[in-house]
């Protein structure tokens, strides 16, 4: 996180070195935010699940279908060449966004989930032997657990999880101690989708590399809120998902170091991933095409490119500072409320507050908030092992996007007072 973000204070006093952030203007870019639910203004605090889309993304997707659409990599005709060009431009935007060294290191997938499955199957799966281990952390989303279990199960290997403390922070000493000669892969989230906790990803990667172990970082949440530089992180693989980054759903990204991708067998077979096919034998295209079998989500990739342009135009540091100010404000407001128990409140965090209110079931809290127009996510957040770690079945999670406001945090807090009135 940049210095400017780290120094942002509750009253925004240190934001003077960043461009002005006009949240009302930003909100006007998102048509859906002006709709009402139950006759009340929508207070959308569930962007961690999927973010709303700005007009620029909606228009970019419409423009493809209205004026530029054809299948890519197939035709000599004008529109196929044009659609291919737009698709390739989107890949270049993703490359720049992650600061990857080469465009061939960017593979389009359906989402983070597919990107992790691809690596678990085509990279790790090829290397695993009986008794080997894959090391995760207790923070992981199911998308960064189950694919590894499937790969491990096929080879007779096991999945282990490095522990986190009561604040959800990774214990680096214990993590290092769990890196052994049996460990063949390390995979962990860059930002917890439950707690917002940011992991020391660069240091964890360094520790794994010291022992020659490759690393995948799940950036589904971090790519939205932090400035990610895959070369600086030095990770072997990095994954994220377009729909959380204000882009379309159904498009995701796998970054992989070119030496790994070059050596990996295909994940799926079909058109567009081959060099030459006979009934006896097929030779495969180079990465990234090798991993993009079949007609891809053409408009989705172009829409993701538009989302990246949109975020870059606002300024990633300015967005991060805005979100960080709101996160601090929300944390302060909720900490002041009797009966509210915050999870993962300490340490470096991005855009998520998770809590319980007295012993009210999270679903009841979520339903009452919903009636007030406040959308939050409740439950285990696809991270059941983390719930087990805290001895709870779920939390209430408010996740902040670049369009949220202080008034919306106030609305959340005021509505929680109402929960207290109802449940006593």
Among 143, 233, 319, 382, the active-site one is: 382
Name the closest residue to ligand 7TS (Cβ). Answer: 193
Minimum CB distance to ligand 7TS, residue 145 (Å): 10
Residue 142 or 209: the one with the smaller Cβ distance to ligand 7TS is 142
Contact yes or no for 136/148 (Cβ under 8 A)? yes
CB of 366 to ligand 7TS, least distance (A): 13
Cβ 30 to ligand 7TS shortest distance, Å:
19
- Indicate the residue among 5 and 378 with the shorter CB distance to ligand 7TS: 378
Residues in region 136-175 near ligand 7TS by CB under 6 A: 141, 143-144
Among the residue ranges 90-98, 167-175, 217-225, 310-318, the one whose residues contact ligand 7TS (CB under 6 A): 217-225
Q: Which residues of 309-347 are buried (b: 16+ CB within 10 A; e: fewer)?
A: ebbeebebbbbbbbbbbbbbbbbebbeeeeebbbbbbeb
Q: Distance from CA of residue 292 to its chain's centroid?
A: 21
Looking only at residues 94 through 123 of this chain, which bind ligand 7TS when binding is defined by CB under 6 A? 111-113
Q: How far from 205 is each of 2, 172, 213, 305, CA to CA, in Å?
A: 20, 11, 9, 28
Nearer to ligand 7TS, 18 or 139 (CB): 139
Q: Is 382 a catalytic residue?
A: yes
Please name the residues in contact with 173: beta carbons below 8 A apart, sequence gap of 6 or more: none
Return the residues of window 22-81 that contact ligand 7TS according to CB under 6 A: 48-49
Site string for ligand 7TS, 218-257 (x = CB under 6 A): x-xx-------------------x----------------
184 SS3 class: strand
Interface positions, 362-401, toward ligand 7TS (CB under 6 A): 377, 381-382
Whole-angstrom distance, CA of residue 292 vs CA of residue 289? 5
Q: If we measure between CA atoms, which residue out of 280, 286, 354, 229 comes closest to residue 107?
A: 286
Nearer to ligand 7TS, 122 or 193 (CB): 193
CB of 240 to ligand 7TS, least distance (A): 8
Q: Which of 47, 193, 199, 357 binds ligand 7TS (CB under 6 A)?
A: 193
Q: What's the min distance (Å) between Cβ of 105 and ligand 7TS? A: 20
Rounded to whole angstroms, what are the CA distances from 397 to 120, 160, 164? 29, 26, 19
Q: Residue 218 forms beta bridges with which residues?
A: 189, 239
Nearer to ligand 7TS, 122 or 222 (CB): 222
Token digits for 363?
A: 């679903």
Q: Which helix (H) or strand (E) holds 161?
A: strand 158-162
Size of the site for ligand 7TS (CB under 6 A): 17
The smaller minimum CB distance to ligand 7TS, of residues 113 and 415, is found at: 113
Q: Residue 318 in contact with residue 362, Cβ under 8 Å?
A: no
Interface residues with ligand 7TS (CB under 6 A)?
48-49, 111-113, 141, 143-144, 189, 193, 218, 220-221, 241, 377, 381-382
Catalytic residue annotation: 382
């Amino acid at each position: 996180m940049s210095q400017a973000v780290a120094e942002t204070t509750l009253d925004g006093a240190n934001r003077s070195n960043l461009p002005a952030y006009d949240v009302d203007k930003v909100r006007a870019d998102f048509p859906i935010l002006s709709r009402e639910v139950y006759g009340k203004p929508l207070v959308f605090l569930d962007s961690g699940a999927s973010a709303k889309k700005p007009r620029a993304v909606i228009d970019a997707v419409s423009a493809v279908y209205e004026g530029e659409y054809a299948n890519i990599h197939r035709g000599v005709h004008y529109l196929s060449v044009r659609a291919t060009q737009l698709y390739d431009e989107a890949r270049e935007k993703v490359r720049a966004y992650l600061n990857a060294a080469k465009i061939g290191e960017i593979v389009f997938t359906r989402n983070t989930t597919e990107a992790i499955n691809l690596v678990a199957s085509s990279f790790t799966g090829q290397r695993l032997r009986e008794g080997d281990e894959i090391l995760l952390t207790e923070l992981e989303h199911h998308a960064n657990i189950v694919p590894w279990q499937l790969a491990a199960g096929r080879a007779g290997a096991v999945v282990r999880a490095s522990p986190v403390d009561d604040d959800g922070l990774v214990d680096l000493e214990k993590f290092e101690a769990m890196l052994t000669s049996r460990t063949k892969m390390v995979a962990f989230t860059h930002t917890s989708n439950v707690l917002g906790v940011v992991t020391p990803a660069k240091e964890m990667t360094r520790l794994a590399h010291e022992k020659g172990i490759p690393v995948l970082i799940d950036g589904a949440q971090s790519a939205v809120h932090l400035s990610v530089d895959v070369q600086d992180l030095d990770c072997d693989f990095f994954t994220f998902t377009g729909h959380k980054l204000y882009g379309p759903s159904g498009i995701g990204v796998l970054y992989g170091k070119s030496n790994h991708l070059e050596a990996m067998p295909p994940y799926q077979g079909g058109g567009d991933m081959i060099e030459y096919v006979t009934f006896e034998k097929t030779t495969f295209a180079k990465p990234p095409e090798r991993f993009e079998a079949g007609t891809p989500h053409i408009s989705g990739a172009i829409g993701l490119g538009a989302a990246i342009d949109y975020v870059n135009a606002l300024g990633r540091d300015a967005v991060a500072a805005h979100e960080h100010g709101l996160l601090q404000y929300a944390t302060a407001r909720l900490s002041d409320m009797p009966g509210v128990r915050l999870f993962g409140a300490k340490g470096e965090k991005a855009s998520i507050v998770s809590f319980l209110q007295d012993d009210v079931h999270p679903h009841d809290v979520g339903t009452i908030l919903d009636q007030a127009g406040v959308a939050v996510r409740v439950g285990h957040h696809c991270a059941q092992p983390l719930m087990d770690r805290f001895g709870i079945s779920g939390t209430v999670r408010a996740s902040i996007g670049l369009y949220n406001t202080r008034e919306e945090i106030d609305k959340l807090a005021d509505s929680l007072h109402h929960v207290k009135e109802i449940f006593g």
